Amino acid sequence: MVRKLMMLGATLLMFGSIALAAETAFMGVVSDSHCGAKHSTAGDDAAACVGKCVAGGATYVLATSDGKIYQLDNQDKFKEYAGKSVKVKGTANGDSIAVESVEAAGT
Task: Work out how many domains the chain is built from and give that number.
Answer: 1
Residues whose CB falls within 8 Å of the CB of residue 85, separated by 6 or more in sequence, listed in order: 27, 28, 29, 42, 104, 105, 106
Assigned domain for 71 exists:
yes
Question: Do 61 and 26 contact (CB within 8 A), yes or no?
Answer: no
Question: Which residues on neighbouring strands pair with residue 79, listed in sequence order?
Answer: none
CATH assignment at residue 48: 2.40.50
Domain that holds residue 29: 23-104
Q: What pTM did the predictor assign?
A: 0.77
What are φ and ψ of residue 95, in 5° steps? Answer: -105, 30
Per-residue pLDDT tens over the stretch 19-60 = 455 789 999 999 999 999 998 889 999 999 999 999 999 999
